[in-house]
Every structure is written in structure tokens, then in C-alpha cells.
Amino acid sequence: MVTPILLQDAVASLFEGINIALTPSILGWMLLGLTAGMVLGALPGIGSPVAMAIALPLTIPLPPEAAIILLVAIYSGAMYGGSVAAILLNAPGTESAAATTLDGYPMAKDGLAKNALAIATTSSALNGFLGAIILVILSPLLIEVVLAFGSPEYFLLAVLGISLITIVTDGSIVKGLVSGAFGLMISTIGVAIFSPTPRFSFGSLALYEGINFVAALIGMFAFAEMMKLAAQKTITDEAVELGGSIRAGIREVFKYPKSMVKALLIGIGIGMVPGSGATTSTFVAYAEEARSRIGGRFGEGDPRGIIAPEGANNPTVSGSLVPTLSFGIPGSGSTAVLLGGILMHGLQPGPVLFDEQLSFTYAIFVSLFLGNFAILAVGYTVIPYASRITDLDTNVIIPMVVVLSFAGAYTLADNWVDVLAVLVLGVYGFYMVRYNYSVIAFVLGIVLGPIAEENLFRSLSISGGSWSIFVNRPLSLMIVIAIFVVLFGPFLGPYVRQTIDRVGS
């Protein structure tokens, strides 16, 4: 139960957050981020992680409020923008838009491309708007939970996040663990947090401060993706013609309110689970809609086949902010880059963010709320010109992104080591994807490694070196149990089910 004093503080901070979000400069950065995200999200191979990674070093001179709101706006805009290429080209701009191709492209081929784009715009923006409202409503409860956490809980949460490698890995768990271990190793380069002893610096002064995690993110996402695109002559194939009606598409959305509500709940729920993301939520929403609507034209241009995934993608953004801002656990590449931006600007996810900078946190939520109105306005405006976005040549895209990646890495600390890190880790990331090693597992390792190390030392300092501090507190004990479930659940699950079946029979 939320205490009256806490609720009163939350309401006061909410109004302060509204004032911050409505500042003209903040609104300008939000609109810029949304537009950039929508355009880059519409280009297959770019997507939100790449767009955010490119923007990350460019936010250095900005105030923290403007920088983080810009990144969140790019994230949200790219979630919608991915549907443009999915519908017009059968080539999703983002992984989360893959489910939209199943009915969006067939509808476009039937001469109803404008209908499909309007359905995607309306369902994505409206449910994103509702998702932001739910986030604001739930935030007082979230604040109480976050403020109950101390160093032991944050160390264990970091371990839990790292253990989620077994979930986020597609295919071989061993490959996922190898990727995560390499990320952890990279995070330990440089002088130790509580000791002047350098680690893995090989006598080089340039490595004493370690590998900048922002440079690592730029390399793993932006540079590696450009290497993959280099084999293509154009960004994608020729688009279908823009036929149909925007108004008819808007009306289609309001014919299926139940589909919208289900997509909203699925998007927020899955978004809150670390290790999942918009790709999971959109396919779950699509599968649920197809399952419950037996006899529909799913796969042939059914409007509900667009409403379900697009209605789930932007609420996933709202849901994913919960573990990212509350506990510092990213659930996807996009939230990993966002977390990188938060840390880069000197902010600390968790109690500090929700206690000392609550108004800033609410400003992010309010900007997400306002941003979905902008998606409606901008989305409807650009629909008649949408196909032009996808005509860009890779000879334009690749050099531009590579130059921005290197320039952005150098501006982080005026250090050529960061530029070299982008190059080396970009090549490494390219081959990771090529040989089915998890990039997300690597990112979890490099981002959560320092958090785990710092809170481990703090916890042991508090307890005088006793490890019992991690199990003699109820909250920390619950997290320990969750870690064991995540690590051993996939292996023990089949045996448990067999035992239950035998007992039941």
C-alpha cells in the first residue's frame, strides 16, 4: 500500500515533471528524436538500437533531461517506424515489426497500403499513449519497491540480469554464456573500483580507465550493422504503390477495441520482464489474436494482424522502462543503449533516480505520453510520402553511420582508444551475429558487470565480509531464489512436469 506522504510527494513530482516535459527546448528534442526514430526505424537494418547508439555521443553536451528524453523518443519513434518497411516492403525496419509483415504486406499488395499504415500508426500511438498513463499510475507503487532496495539487492539484481542470458539467448545457451562472459571481461578492463590496481591494461595508460561502454555499444550495434548492410546495393527492394485510404484505416482500429486492450496488456506485461522485448511482445500479441479469432484472414491482410503487433510495440517501451529505470537491468538492445545514456550523464538507476530525481523520472514518462500524440500527427502526415524513405542507397547510409560512429566515439573523451574500441568490437559484433552468438548477452555483461562489482564491494563492506548479507534479508533472499529459477529452470522444468504428470495419473 502506498503511504499518503509518498503519494503526495509523487503527485508533486509529477507536476514538476510535466513542467519539465513542456519546456520548449525539451519538446523540441522530443520531436527531433521521434522524427529521427521514425525515419531510421523505417530503414531495414537500422532499427532503434542502432539509431540510439548513433545519437548517444551526440547527447553529451545536452542537459540530462533533454538527452534521456531524446533517446526515449528515438526508441518510441523507431518502434512505430519499423512498420513502414514491414508493410510496404515485407522487410521490417526493426525486429519488433516482423510480426506486422504477416498481414501488413498482404494488405499493401491488395492496394490498401495507406489503410495498413494508418492502422499501424493509430494502434501504435493510442496504445503507447495508454501505456504511458499506466506507467504514471503504477509509479507510486514502483517507488516504494525501489526505495526498499540496498546494495545487496542491487548486486543480486545485476546477477539476475546476467543470469537472464540463459533466456535471451536464441539457440545455444553455451554460446550465450560465452558472449556474456566476454562482456564481463571487457567491463573489468582498467583500474578496479575499490583498488588502484589496473586490470588487463597490458601496461597501457590508455586502458587505465577501461573500455568506454558507450563506445562498445556503438561498435556492437551501429558499426556491426553497417558491416552487414555493406553486402547490399540498396537498403531494400522496391516498395508497393500507396493505395487505399488513411481514414478507412483509422476506422478499422476502432472496430476492434478488445484487440487493442489485449495488445496493450501484453505489451506492458512482457516489456516489464527483463530479457524479453518488443519482438517477443509483438509475436505473442499476434499469436493470441490469431488463436482467438479462428476463421479470420490472418496472413492474408486481416486488420487485426496489424493491430495486435503494432498495438503491443509502443506499450512495450513503457513496460521496459520499469526494469531499466528501477533496477538498471536492460531487457533489450534498445534499453541497454538507454541505460548507457543514463549512466553516461551521471544518473544512477534505482533509489537515487526515484528519490532524489523523481521529477526527472516523471518528465520521461510525460514525454512518452506526449510523444505518442506526435506519432499520430507526424505519422498521418508522412504516410503519403512513406515509400520515399525506403529508397535510400546503402552508399549513402553506410558512410554516414560509420563517420558518425567514429566521430561520436572520439567525442566521448577525446580518446582514440574509444574509436579503436568501436572498430574492434564492431567487427567482433558482426562475427557474433554471423555465428549465432548473442549480442544482447554481451551487452548484459558489459553493462551489468560494473554494477555487480560495485554493489558487491559495498555489501561486503557493510557486512564486514560476511556473505550472509545476501540471504538474511527477505528481499535479497527472494532474488536469490529467482536467480536459481532462471539458471536451473530450463533444465529442471521437464523433470518437474514429468513428476507432476506421474503423480496426477
* E strands, 366-430, in order: none
Cβ atoms 336, 149 nearer than 8 A: no
Helix 358-382, helix 64-89: angle, nearest 10: 30
Q: Return the closest-CA partner of residue 126 out of 246, 24, 267.
A: 267
Q: pTM for the complete prediction?
A: 0.72
User: 240: helix, coil or strand?
Assistant: coil
Indicate the pLDDT class of residue 155, thresholds 50, 70 and 90. Answer: confident
Indicate the pLDDT class of residue 45, thresholds 50, 70 and 90. Answer: low
Q: Give the C-alpha separation, 273 to 270, whole Å.
A: 5
Question: What's the pLDDT score for residue 254?
Answer: 92
In order of 55, 115, 157, 232, the CA distances from 391 in angstroms are 22, 21, 44, 13
Indicate the pLDDT class of residue 446, thresholds 50, 70 and 90. Answer: confident
In order of 46, 86, 97, 269, 321, the CA distances from 94 in angstroms are 7, 8, 5, 20, 19
Stronger pLDDT, 489 or 247, i.e. the higher one: 247
Indicate the pLDDT class of residue 489, thresholds 50, 70 and 90. Answer: confident
Question: What's the pLDDT score for residue 365?
Answer: 86
Res. 175: pLDDT tops 80:
yes
Report residue 65 as a C-alpha cell: 533531461
Stronger pLDDT, 135 or 237, i.e. the higher one: 135
> Which of 53-67, 149-163, 193-207 has the weakest average pLDDT?
193-207
Using the structure block, give the residue that is written with the C-alpha cell 533444465. Answer: 491
Question: What's the pLDDT score for residue 487?
Answer: 78
* HSE, side-chain direction, 13 A CA sphere, residue 297: 9
Q: Give the C-alpha separation, 315 to 294, whole Å.
A: 26
Sign of CA pseudo-dihedral 411, 431, 39, 337: negative
Cβ atoms 332, 440 nearer than 8 A: yes
Res. 237: pLDDT tops 60:
no
Mean pLDDT score, 279-291: 78
Sign of CA pseudo-dihedral 86, 89, 94, 96: positive
Question: What's the pLDDT score for residue 476?
Answer: 87
Cβ-count burial of 404 within 10 angstroms (0-12 exposed, 13-18 middle, 19+ buried)?
Answer: middle
One-letter amino acid identity for 232? Q
Q: Give the C-alpha separation, 404 to 143, whole Å.
A: 38
Res. 46: pLDDT tops 80:
no
151 alpha-carbon distance from chain centroid = 25
Indicate the pLDDT class of residue 5, thresholds 50, 70 and 90. Answer: very low
Indicate the pLDDT class of residue 32, thresholds 50, 70 and 90. Answer: very high
Res. 84: pLDDT tops 90:
no
Question: What's the pLDDT score for residue 28?
Answer: 92
List all residues 6 or more positions away from 93 whose beta carbon is below 8 Å from its beta carbon.
Answer: 40, 41, 42, 43, 44, 46, 47, 78, 81, 82, 83, 84, 85, 86
> Which of 28-32, 121-125, 286-290, 313-317 has the weakest average pLDDT?
286-290
